[in-house]
Each structure stands twice: as structure tokens, then as C-alpha cells.
């Protein structure tokens, strides 16, 4: 069989993914095994795969695949999120292109269009995840708006309402006048925008020439003012306390109040208070019991409460009123000013802080177990530094505004009774009717007399149930799936949504299951470009993951992502990382080529390789232990590094070179079998990181049956290892490296065989490694003894290596380097002796630390002795 010298991922990836699916390896059903469950952070149906998903899902796949190989019943539940605002905006835009206005459609018609759109585009991202190799249980794919999922959301709403946690209230919300909906804080993007600060004077009531001047960037809102506020200690305004000022143009009188909140240095030190149109003013208004005067319509035009400019847009009015104020000499001056203006993430309209009637969830009590169980590590955050952030949020949490003025989502199950201000909350219209009849005592009420609230619930209000609802745990709280899979094990997500999503899932978990939703939360970083900028469509600095996978292979990109992604830290993505991943794949591929290319001669004896085999077996055990520790601490990047070095350095660079037969010669059967076993174990520990290439190699390493797969093979068991053997090996390797270095520095070819003479008190070590050292250092002979005439020497630990060299030996240079070493080692010994001579050290330090120092001392002394002997031989 001829195998390509370059690994070609395209040849194998689709083949093995199809094979895995065909044999249902990723599907999970409850059984007697220990479950391992991950629910995917459901991507938006509007989304396409980006680098953040790549990182996030690679990590989930690594964890899932490892658990599956460990014999756990692994279940990774995939799905998508309906994303109310984003999707509705997308559908509205799509309709607009077709010439259809949303306002011309009924709710049902619109939802039909939206569902069609979702069916067409909503699954794209999941298909893309398959290219990445994601081992999700596709039979369990969920969508947050499918009937069973929505039913759970509605049930929870009704339940929380009945418990008294949900209420309707007036609040200041971020209003998008274009989308005509309230937005949550995270859907608002603040941009620094050049603006003007208008200084406007208000006449004091009952005077002819007394004024107070305020400064504002929004002169149109003076029409909604209900007070002017000054600092109580501000000397400039002492005489005005308790007086009233007249709003220019409309002459409505408003009180002048005092509050320490006002910054005296800002503007004129006098603050106009517009409770309906500024969040801070709103708070101030509550405190001082001010009237809330809303002068804006939902679309951003002024209403009749403004008295003037009614029906005109807020920005048009800003210009006009500034002009009028100037003409009528109310405008004192204007100055340039930079202000942070909120824009809608979806429509880019300038956000209007607006008083509105919304639905809220009270957060004060439901958050208690969610806070407590993160602080006591029942739910562990990785890295733990996020606990602080989590706590500060949970301790200062505000009630959650859960209503959105949209159609795409779960419609709020509140029904208003015609002809009254009453409403009822129920899971169905029929139940609502019953309730309404009871409530009103009017048995004549019909369905037609009820009007369901037109708004839908915040998308997070459905996704906070995700770890429960994917197993239908709200509707059937005792079903076998939810009992088996819940609580889930690990959640992998971005710190950006720690509050919006993770915290709320924990709340819902305790509220509805009385238990944490997951044990571990692994927080990934944000994927940034080389310059540290967040990857975004508008910057165009994000590579297309699919193209990247075509170029470097899915395995290459997966490992590339993980090379530089410690938990919780941002990842500065460079295509070089994928290249490195691809190169690693190629390296492994070539190791496979080498092994497969060998002729095996089972009559041949292979004792010479025994030490190499013993060494690698122990080295593997050591690395496996390290690997397990890395996984246990969620240090995924380090875990990859461990197997990377094991495969490349230890297996390829050392082990294979040790046992490789000379060209044209066969390998003995015992060494071959051992090597196949090592390769197979390597494929196992590499598989979670690079599933495709490892499966391809594993399938071809030995005869396999249809239905067998690496992805369900048993993970290697961690064995004890012989540490002494491993340290002996490092001595042998050091000898090899020294000889190679000598050749290199003297410009000699590796083909020139050299003679090596070792002066040592531990000859057995060198005898054990004789064959390996001879082969790797290309020695013609290895003997024990003193340095002969005309040889160059080096000192390794307490041992002296000599290599006879024909021709020039620069005795002076050699002496200099030996002296330098001697000096360093003496200095080192000195510091060690100082430590040991210090009574306080010997008494206070741990015994093993003191013991280590004693060993250092002995080593240093031996080394000094060897160096001195070399030097004296040199001068002799």
C-alpha cells in the first residue's frame, strides 16, 4: 500500500463522520452507566459558524469524546435558539425586500413567514458543526420554539406568576423607536458621538430678570422637565431653593429641588430633571416624588404632552427648538461635547430611555440558592476568578424585564378582560376564560372577550430552562431522561453571557429541579485577531471557519484553536496556529507511514530495543498522568500540549529513531507489536483533540471489523511509572545531544561516526543505554576510561565525556569553557552550602526540601570534581 507523504484531510473527514453517524456512536439512551452530559449553548438561528463557535464547540467535543472513551454514557445535546429580536429583524428585512410590510400582516401570517425562514436557514450552523467533527447526539436536537419547548416556557411563566414572582410594572427601558420594542441592556451598543451641550436659561417664576441656566445635550426634552435640581451646598443657587422656574417656550412652572447627586462642576451645576426620558432622572424623580411626563410616542415623535412640535420627530425637533430658543434669547451658549449614545444592536436606531409598562420577574429571592451554590463551589466556575464578577452581579441584581414587543417568541400567557383593567394568567385561553369568569363573576364571558397580551417573552426566559427543557423536565418532571441526564456535567460558554444566561440557568435549576444544572462552567475567552480586536463581520477580520477547515483540515483547526486558549483568556487568533495544527497532523501521519512501511521479520531478535520500549511505556504512563491532571483542572490547552509533546518529541523524535531499523532491513516482531500498541494508545489520547486523523490511522493500524471505532474504544488506564528509568533516559539523551552539538559546532556531518570515552562511576546506566546512545549519536565505539590524548571533553553531571578528534583541538577554548562551567558550579555550590549552613533553613524548611538541597550539594561536588579533573588533564 502506498500512503501519501502528505496527510490529506479531505480524503477522510466526511467518510468517518458518516461512519460515526451510521453506527449511532453519538446517540445516548439512559442505561446503567454513569452519564456524562453537556448541553450546547444553543446558537442563534440567524447565526453562521464563527470562530467563537469553533473554539467553544471544539472544547465541548474534546470533553465529550474523552468521556465517551472513558466508558461513560456521553450525551451532548445540540440545538438552536430562536433569538427573538435578531430573527424578527432578519425576517422583517427579508419581507421588506419582497415589498411586504410587517404591519400589513397578521401575527399568524408573520409567524408563518418566520418559521419558513427558520426552517430554511436555522439549521445551517448545526450542519457546519458536523464539519468540525462535533459528536452531538443529533437525534436529540432541540429548538427553543418548538411546541414542547414553548409549552415549558409558558408553564414556568404561569407558575412564577402564581408564586408572585412575576408582576407588571412601570420601568425605564431601552426603547428602540424603529423596532418599536424594549431592548435589554446587552442589546444596546454605546458609541461615542459628537454632540452639543446647550446652555438654556429658565426664568424664575415671579421675577422679570432672574434666571437659572441648565446644560443639556437634548434640548427637545425640556418639554418633559418636571424639576431643576441643584446641589444643596452650591452657593450659586442657595437663594433659589424652593422657588420655581418656567420652562422656556411653554412657560410651565417646575420646582427647583436640591440633591447631593448633582455634580457641581458639570455644566452649570443646575440639572434639568426629565424623569420620563432619562434613567438617572427617573431615579431622582422617584426619590423626590416628581411627576413623570412622557412627551414621546413609540415611534420617536413628540406627543401632545409636549404642547409644541407635536407629531414631529425627536431629532427634527432638536434642531428646531434650538433655533427657536436662540431666537427668543433663552439659549445662552452651546459647546461641543462628546456623549455616549446608545444604539440598537439590531436596527441601529438611537435608543430612547422610555417609561413603559412591562412584565418583570422579581429577582431578590430566586437568586439566593444560585448565589450561594456558586460561592461554595457546588457549581464551579473555571477559571474561578469569575466568581467575583458573578457575586457582584447577583448581589446587585435588578428585577428582570422579561417582555419584548415582538411576535417571534413565546407569547405572554396573560389575558386582558374586555371592558375592564383586569387580566388573568393561564397556560391556555380556555383556562384563562375559566379564571376570568371566576374573577369577574361573569359567566357570560366568552373567549372573544379575552385579549392575550401581544408581547413575547425575552429569549433568555426560554433558554434559562435549556438544561431542563431539552429533557422535557418541566412538563414531565419525573421522566427517565431528565432523571438520568440532569444535572449535566459541564457547560462551555463565553464569560459575556455569564449573567444573562449561566446565572439564570442556575436560578431556574434550583427553582425547578432543586439542584444545580451543571457541575462545571468552563468559560472560554473571546477570539480576537492578531491585533487584539474582536472578530466581527463589520471589521472583516474573521476568517471563514469552513474555508479554514478546507485549508488545514478540521483536526488542524481544532488543535490550532486549542494551542493558545487558556480558560477565560482571550485568544489572539493567528492562521499560523492552524498551520501548526496541520503540521502536527502531518507529523503523526508520517509516523504512521513509517510504521506501516516496515517489513516485519518475526524470527529476528529484538533485545536491543527492550530499553527503548520500556522507556516509552513509562514515559507514556507519566504523560497520561499529567494529561489526566490537566483535564481534571480544565486546562485543555495544557492537555493538548502534553499529548503534542508526547507524540512529537518523545514518540517521533526519540522512540522511533531508537527502534527504526536501517533502511532496507526488517523490524523484529516484538518491537513491531510494541510499537503498534504505542501508536494505538497515542491515537486514543489524541482522539478527543483530532478525531478524524486518529480514526483513519486507528482503522488502518490493525485489522478492524465493521462497527468498530476509535471513538468508542477504551481510554488508556493510568499506570504507575518507573521514575528512575525516566531520569536515566534523560542522562542518555543529554549525552546524545552533547555529541550532536559537538558535531554541529565544529561543522561536522552527522554521518561522521565518533568514538566516545566516558569516565563515570555509574557505568551500568551507560551500558543499559549503550545501543541507543551509539545509534542516535552515531558512535563507532563507546568505552569507559580517562580522557585520551588529543580528545575533546565535556562534563555531564559527574561524568566526563571524551571524544578523540583528529586534527586541531583548540585547547585554550576548551579550557575557557570548562573554567566558565567550573566557576558557575562553584557559585551554585556556594549558595547551596550557605543554605545548608543556615540553621534556620535546616530547622524551618520541609525535610524533603532540605534533602533536595543535600542532593544538589552532592551533585555539584561531583561535577566540580569532574571538571577539575578534566582541566588538570588539559593542562598536563
DSSP code string of 339-395: EEEEEETTT-PBPEEEEEEEEEE--TTTHHHHHHHHHTTSSEEESTTHHHHHHHHHH
Minimum Å gap between C-beta 799 and RNA is 17
Minimum Å gap between C-beta 597 and RNA is 6
Could you list the beta-strand ranges (E) of 217-315. Answer: 227-230, 244-246, 253-258, 270-273
The footprint of RNA on this chain (CB under 7 A) covers a number of residues equal to 69
The interface region with RNA, picked from 37-45, 58-66, 138-146, 839-847 by CB under 7 A, is 839-847
State the Cα–Cα distance between residues 804 and 789, nearest whole angstrom.
8
Cβ atoms of 180 and 303 within 8 Å: the answer is no
Going by their DSSP bridges, the two strands 380-382 and 518-523 should be labelled as parallel
Does 576 sit near RNA (CB under 7 A)? yes
Does 10 sit near RNA (CB under 7 A)? no
Residues 6+ apart with CB under 8 A from 607: none
Of 504, 498, 557, 506, the C-alpha closest to 522 is: 498
State the Cα–Cα distance between residues 451 and 819, nearest whole angstrom.
95
SS3 call for 491: strand
Residues 6+ apart with CB under 8 A from 584: 556, 559, 644, 647, 648, 690
Minimum Å gap between C-beta 813 and RNA is 15
State the Cα–Cα distance between residues 468 and 698, nearest whole angstrom.
37
Does 593 sit near RNA (CB under 7 A)? yes
Among 532, 540, 807, 847, binds RNA (CB under 7 A): 532
Does 740 sit near RNA (CB under 7 A)? yes
State the Cα–Cα distance between residues 548 and 556, nearest whole angstrom.
9
State the Cα–Cα distance between residues 796 and 802, nearest whole angstrom.
11
Among 1, 2, 5, 875, binds RNA (CB under 7 A): 5
How many helices (H) does the chain have, and how many strands (E)?
A: 29, 31
Q: Binding marks (x or -) toward RNA, 438..467, rule CB under 7 A?
A: ------------------------------
Does 838 sit near RNA (CB under 7 A)? yes
Distances (CA, A) of 442 to 410, 416, 417, 426: 29, 14, 11, 18
Residue number, 37 or 637, with CB nearest to RNA:
637
Going by their DSSP bridges, the two strands 142-143 and 188-204 should be labelled as unpaired
SS (H, E, C) 45-61: CCCCCCHHHHHHHHHHH
Among 345, 476, 529, 570, binds RNA (CB under 7 A): 570
Residue number, 253 or 353, with CB nearest to RNA:
353
659: number of Cβ within 10 Å: 23
Does 653 sit near RNA (CB under 7 A)? yes
Residue number, 117 or 464, with CB nearest to RNA:
464
Minimum Å gap between C-beta 807 and RNA is 18
Among 429, 447, 849, 858, binds RNA (CB under 7 A): 849
Does 585 sit near RNA (CB under 7 A)? yes
Q: Binding marks (x or -) toward RNA, 615..644, rule CB under 7 A?
A: --------------x---x-x-xx--x---
Of 230, 260, 235, 231, the C-alpha closest to 245 is: 230
DSSP code string of 288-304: HT------B-TTSBB-G
Query: Nine-digit cell at 790?
Result: 588529543
Query: Nine-digit cell at 396?
Result: 446587585
Does 499 sit near RNA (CB under 7 A)? yes
Minimum Å gap between C-beta 236 and RNA is 22
DSSP3 helix / strand / coil % (the chain, rounded to 5): 50, 20, 35
Site residues for RNA, window 212-231 (CB under 7 A)? none
State the Cα–Cα distance between residues 867 and 857, nearest whole angstrom.
15
Beta bridge partners of 341: 191
Residue number, 441 or 747, with CB nearest to RNA:
747
State the Cα–Cα distance between residues 506 and 499, nearest whole angstrom.
10
Going by their DSSP bridges, the two strands 166-176 and 142-143 should be labelled as unpaired
Residue number, 726 or 873, with CB nearest to RNA:
726
Minimum Å gap between C-beta 87 and RNA is 23
Residue number, 331 or 693, with CB nearest to RNA:
693
Among 845, 862, 873, 874, binds RNA (CB under 7 A): 845
Among 30, 253, 255, 566, binds RNA (CB under 7 A): 566
Cβ atoms of 601 and 668 within 8 Å: the answer is yes
Among 155, 243, 252, 856, binds RNA (CB under 7 A): 856
Does 837 sit near RNA (CB under 7 A)? no
Among 419, 597, 707, 763, binds RNA (CB under 7 A): 597
**Is 551 marked as a binding-site residue?**
no
Site residues for RNA, window 767-806 (CB under 7 A)? none
Residue number, 350 or 572, with CB nearest to RNA:
572
Minimum Å gap between C-beta 553 and RNA is 8
Q: Is 267 left (phi over 0), alpha (psi -120 to 50) or beta?
A: left
Among 193, 373, 590, 709, binds RNA (CB under 7 A): 590
Among 446, 741, 780, 817, binds RNA (CB under 7 A): 741
Among 365, 418, 446, 831, binds RNA (CB under 7 A): 831
Residue number, 323 or 385, with CB nearest to RNA:
385
Does 484 sit near RNA (CB under 7 A)? no
Residue 259 DSSP symbol: -
Does 648 sit near RNA (CB under 7 A)? yes
Does 398 sit near RNA (CB under 7 A)? yes
Residue number, 70 or 263, with CB nearest to RNA:
263
- Provide the greatest CA pair distance for the chain: 122
Among 124, 324, 828, 873, binds RNA (CB under 7 A): 828
Query: Nine-digit cell at 454?
Result: 401581544
Minimum Å gap between C-beta 238 and RNA is 25
State the Cα–Cα distance between residues 506 and 517, nearest whole angstrom.
6
Residue number, 280 or 713, with CB nearest to RNA:
280
Residue number, 740 or 774, with CB nearest to RNA:
740
The interface region with RNA, picked from 203-211, 374-382, 383-391, 426-434 by CB under 7 A, is 383-391
Site residues for RNA, window 135-194 (CB under 7 A)? 185-186
Measured CA angle at 276 (ends 274, 281), to 5 deg: 45
Does 725 sit near RNA (CB under 7 A)? no
Q: Is 538 left (phi over 0), alpha (psi -120 to 50) or beta?
A: alpha
State the Cα–Cα distance between residues 8 and 31, nearest whole angstrom.
38
Among 115, 188, 249, 594, binds RNA (CB under 7 A): 594
State the Cα–Cα distance between residues 350 and 326, nearest whole angstrom.
25
Site residues for RNA, window 654-683 (CB under 7 A)? 656-657, 660, 663
Residue number, 15 or 740, with CB nearest to RNA:
740
Residue number, 212 or 401, with CB nearest to RNA:
401
Residue number, 440 or 590, with CB nearest to RNA:
590
Does 846 sit near RNA (CB under 7 A)? yes
The position carrying cell 426634552 is: 221
SS3 call for 99: coil
Cβ atoms of 295 and 305 within 8 Å: the answer is yes
Treating both helix axes as pointing N-terminal to C-terminal, what angle do 367-375 and 504-512 enclose, rounded to 10 degrees?
110
Q: Residue numbers of the site for RNA (CB under 7 A)?
A: 5-7, 185-186, 385, 388-389, 392-393, 396, 398, 496, 499, 532, 563-564, 566, 569-572, 576, 580, 582-583, 585-587, 590-591, 593-594, 597, 629, 633, 635, 637-638, 641, 645, 648-649, 652-653, 656-657, 660, 663, 736-737, 740-741, 744-745, 747, 750, 828, 831, 835, 838, 840-841, 844-846, 849, 852, 856
Q: Which residues are annotated as a binding site?
A: 537
Which residues are documented as binding site for ATP? 537
Amino acid at each position: 500500500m502506498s500512503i501519501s507523504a502528505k496527510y490529506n484531510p479531505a480524503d477522510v473527514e466526511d467518510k468517518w463522520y458518516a461512519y460515526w453517524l451510521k453506527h449511532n456512536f453519538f446517540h445516548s439512551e439512559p442505561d446503567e452507566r454513569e452519564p456524562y452530559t453537556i448541553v450546547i449553548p444553543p446558537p442563534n438561528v440567524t447565526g453562521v459558524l464563527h470562530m467563537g463557535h469553533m473554539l467553544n464547540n471544539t472544547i465541548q467535543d474534546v470533553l465529550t469524546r474523552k468521556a465517551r472513551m472513558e466508558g461513560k454514557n456521553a450525551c451532548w445535546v445540540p440545538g438552536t435558539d430562536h433569538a427573538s429580536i435578531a430573527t424578527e429583524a432578519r425576517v422583517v428585512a427579508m419581507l421588506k425586500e419582497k415589498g411586504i410590510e410587517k404591519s400589513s400582516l397578521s401575527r399568524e401570517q408573520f409567524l408563518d413567514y418566520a418559521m419558513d425562514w427558520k426552517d430554511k436557514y436555522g439549521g445551517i450552523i448545526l450542519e457546519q458543526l458536523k464539519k468540525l467533527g462535533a459528536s452531538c447526539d443529533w437525534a436529540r436536537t432541540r429548538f427553543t420554539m418548538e411546541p414542547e419547548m414553548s409549552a415549558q416556557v409558558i408553564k414556568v411563566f404561569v407558575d412564577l406568576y402564581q408564586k408572585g414572582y412575576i408582576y407588571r410594572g412601570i420601568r425605564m427601558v431601552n426603547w428602540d423607536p424603529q423596532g418599536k420594542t424594549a431592548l435589554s441592556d446587552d442589546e444596546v451598543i454605546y458609541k461615542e458621538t459628537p454632540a452639543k451641550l446647550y446652555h438654556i436659561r429658565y426664568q424664575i417664576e415671579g421675577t422679570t430678570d432672574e434666571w437659572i441656566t441648565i446644560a443639556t445635550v437634548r434640548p427637545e426634552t425640556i418639554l418633559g422637565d418636571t424639576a431643576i435640581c441643584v446641589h444643596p451646598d452650591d452657593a450659586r443657587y442657595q437663594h433659589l431653593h424652593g422657588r420655581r422656574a418656567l420652562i422656556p417656550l411653554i412657560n410651565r412652572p417646575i420646582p427647583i429641588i436640591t440633591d447631593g447627586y448633582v455634580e457641581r462642576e458639570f455644566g452649570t451645576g443646575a440639572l434639568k430633571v426629565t424623569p420620563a426620558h432619562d434613567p438617572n432622572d427617573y431615579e431622582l424623580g422617584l426619590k423626590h416624588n416628581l411627576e413623570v411626563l412622557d412627551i414621546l410616542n413609540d415611534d420617536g415623535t413628540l406627543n401632545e404632552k409636549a404642547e409644541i412640535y407635536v407629531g414631529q420627530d425627536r431629532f427634527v425637533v432638536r434642531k428646531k427648538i434650538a433655533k427657536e430658543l436662540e431666537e427668543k434669547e433663552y439659549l445662552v451658549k452651546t459647546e461641543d461635547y462628546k456623549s455616549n449614545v446608545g444604539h440598537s444592536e439590531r436596527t441601529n436606531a438611537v435608543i430612547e430611555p422610555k417609561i413603559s409598562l412591562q412584565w418583570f420577574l422579581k429577582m431578590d429571592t430566586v437568586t439566593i440558592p444560585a448565589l450561594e451554590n456558586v460561592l461554595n463551589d457546588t457549581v464551579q466556575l473555571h477559571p474561578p476568578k469569575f466568581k467575583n464578577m458573578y457575586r457582584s452581579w447577583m448581589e446587585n441584581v435588578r428585577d428582570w424585564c422579561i417582555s419584548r414587543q415582538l411576535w417571534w417568541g413565546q407569547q405572554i400567557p396573560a389575558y386582558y378582560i374586555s371592558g375592564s383593567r383586569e387580566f388573568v394568567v393561564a397556560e391556555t385561553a380556555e383556562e384563562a376564560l375559566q379564571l376570568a369568569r371566576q374573577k369577574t363573576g361573569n359567566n357570560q364571558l366568552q373567549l372573544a372577550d379575552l385579549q392575550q397580551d401581544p408581547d413575547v417573552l425575552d429569549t433568555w426566559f426560554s433558554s434559562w430552562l435549556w438544561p431542563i427543557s431539552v429533557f422535557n423536565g418541566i412538563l414531565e418532571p419525573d421522566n427517565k431522561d431528565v432523571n438520568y441526564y440532569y444535572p449535566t456535567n459541564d457547560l462551555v460558554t463565553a464569560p459575556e453571557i455569564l449573567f444573562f444566561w449561566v446565572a439564570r440557568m442556575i436560578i431556574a435549576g434550583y427553582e425547578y429541579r432543586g439542584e444545580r444544572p451543571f457541575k462545571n462552567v468552563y468559560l472560554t475567552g473571546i477570539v480576537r485577531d492578531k491585533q487584539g480586536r474582536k472578530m466581527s463581520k463589520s471589521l472583516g477580520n474573521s476568517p471563514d471557519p469552513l474555508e479554514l477547515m478546507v485549508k488545514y483540515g478540521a483536526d488542524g483547526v481544532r488543535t490550532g484553536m486549542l494551542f493558545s486558549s487558556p480558560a477565560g483568556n482571550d485568544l489572539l487568533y493567528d492562521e499560523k496556529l492552524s498551520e501548526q495544527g496541520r503540521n502536527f497532523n502531518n507529523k503523526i501521519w508520517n509516523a504512521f507511514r513509517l510504521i506501516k512501511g516496515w517489513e516485519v521479520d518475526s524470527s529476528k531478535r529484538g533485545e536491543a530495543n527492550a530499553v527503548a520500549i520500556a522507556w516509552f511505556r513509562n514515559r507514556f504512563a507519566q504523560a497520561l498522568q499529567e494529561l489526566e491532571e490537566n483535564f481534571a483542572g480544565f486546562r485543555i490547552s495544557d492537555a493538548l500540549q502534553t499529548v503534542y509533546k508526547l507524540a512529537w518529541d518523545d514518540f517521533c523524535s526519540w522512540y522511533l529513531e531508537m527502534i527504526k531499523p536501517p533502511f532496507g532491513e526488517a523490524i523484529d516482531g516484538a518491537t513491531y507489536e510494541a510499537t503498534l500498541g504505542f501508536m494505538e494508545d497515542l491515537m486514543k489520547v489524541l482522539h478527543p483533540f483530532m478525531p478524524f486523523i486518529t480514526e483513519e490511522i486507528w482503522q488502518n493500524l490493525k485489522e478492524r471489523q465493521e462497527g468498530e471505532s476509535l471513538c468508542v474504544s477504551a481510554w488508556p488506564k493510568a499506570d504507575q511509572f518507573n521514575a528512575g528509568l525516566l531520569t536515566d533516559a534523560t542522562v542518555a539523551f543529554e549525552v546524545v545531544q552533547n555529541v550532536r552539538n559537538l558535531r554541529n559546532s565544529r561543522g561536522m556531518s552527522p554521518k561522521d561516526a565518533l568514538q566516545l570515552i566516558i569516565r563515570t562511576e555509574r557505568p551500568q546506566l551507560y551500558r543499559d543505554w549503550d545501543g541507543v546512545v551509539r545509534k542516535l549519536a552515531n558512535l563507532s565505539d563507546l568505552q569507559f576510561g580517562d580522557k585520551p590524548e588529543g580528545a575533546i571533553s565535556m562534563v555531564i553531571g559527574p561524568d566526563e565525556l571524551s571524544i578523540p578528534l583528529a586534527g586541531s583541538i583548540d585547547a585554550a577554548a576548551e579550557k575557557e569553557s570548562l573554567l566558565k562551567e567550573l566557576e558557575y558550579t562553584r557559585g551554585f555550590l556556594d549558595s547551596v552550602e550557605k543554605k545548608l549552613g543556615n540553621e534556620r533553613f535546616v530547622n524551618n524548611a520541609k525535610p524533603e526540601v532540605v534533602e533536595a538541597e543535600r542532593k544538589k550539594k552532592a551533585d555539584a561536588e561531583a561535577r566540580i570534581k569532574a571538571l577539575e579533573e578534566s582541566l588538570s588533564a588539559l593542562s598536563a
